[in-house]
Amino acid sequence: MSGSITEVNKETFWALIVQAKESLGDPAKWLKERLMALGPDQAAMFSAIAGAYRGLAHEYGLWTAASVIDERYCSNEGFDEFKLWLVGQGKQVYMAALADPDSLADVPDCRDARFVSLPNMGRTAYEELKGGDVSRAVGDYEHAVLFEELRRDIVYGEGIGYPYDWADVPAYLPRLYAKCYTEEQRRRCTSAALRVNTWNPENAYIKAARKVVRKGKKGKGGEAR
């Protein structure tokens, strides 16, 4: 099937991710070599699509999920790596997480970082082929059009744009929280001493998000309503 792909678009992007994960040996090496065979223009498009999907996953609700997986703290750099990891999981996991971050509880090993480098292979392939900056290979207008095209396919879950504090986690991400924490850890995390702000409440972006976005609600079984 890999030989049938001659152009990178939003469908073949995900197909290449799947093929890389299913390949024998090093998935990142396989993907880099496949993109180099397709040429610099296609490698650049793969990089642009990966960057757009990373940007589309930049939501506070997903950052909260990343903090649960990382055991209560996820830095800016850690969240960037998490978004790479999420794209590297493939389309089904990615889209499900944007619809409901709690769906990450269904990922067999949510701390498995084996595929975190896959979204970067377009840049790596391009730089080996051309020796230049891949960010200049696709123009600003093309980037904007691509971003909007990919955005139309995404259904964001209720409250995914809200900056949740740690006290909100058991209600917002009940299954992921239960998966990543033992009963004893959950008791400690919900104690009064740890009911603190995850975000700086004086930050202008946090204030704005909390003003315009409502918290997500969960029904029975932890499913978003």
Question: Comparing 4-13, 25-34, 175-184, which segment has the lowest mean pLDDT?
Answer: 175-184
Share of the chain above pLDDT 70, in %: 89
Distance CA 61, CA 34 (A): 34
Predicted local distance difference test score (pLDDT) of residue 70: 85
Residue 142's alpha-carbon distances to 22, 45, 86, 109, 145, in angstroms, are 31, 10, 24, 36, 5
Whether 155 shows a pLDDT value over 90: the answer reads yes
pLDDT tens per residue, range 113-134: 889 999 999 999 999 999 888 9
pLDDT tens per residue, range 183-219: 777 776 666 555 556 788 899 999 999 999 999 876 5
Predicted local distance difference test score (pLDDT) of residue 190: 62
Higher model confidence: residue 46 or residue 194?
46
Query: pTM of the predicted model, to two decimals?
Result: 0.90
Whether 43 shows a pLDDT value over 90: the answer reads yes
Predicted local distance difference test score (pLDDT) of residue 191: 61
Contact between 53 and 14 under an 8 Å Cβ cutoff? The reply is no
- Domains of the chain, by residue range, sit at 2-222
Predicted local distance difference test score (pLDDT) of residue 2: 45
Residue type, 193: A
Whether 162 shows a pLDDT value over 90: the answer reads yes
Predicted local distance difference test score (pLDDT) of residue 196: 57
Average pLDDT over residues 79-87: 96
Q: Which residues contact 44 (CB under 8 A, 6 or more apart)?
A: 122, 126, 134, 137, 138
Average pLDDT over residues 98-124: 93
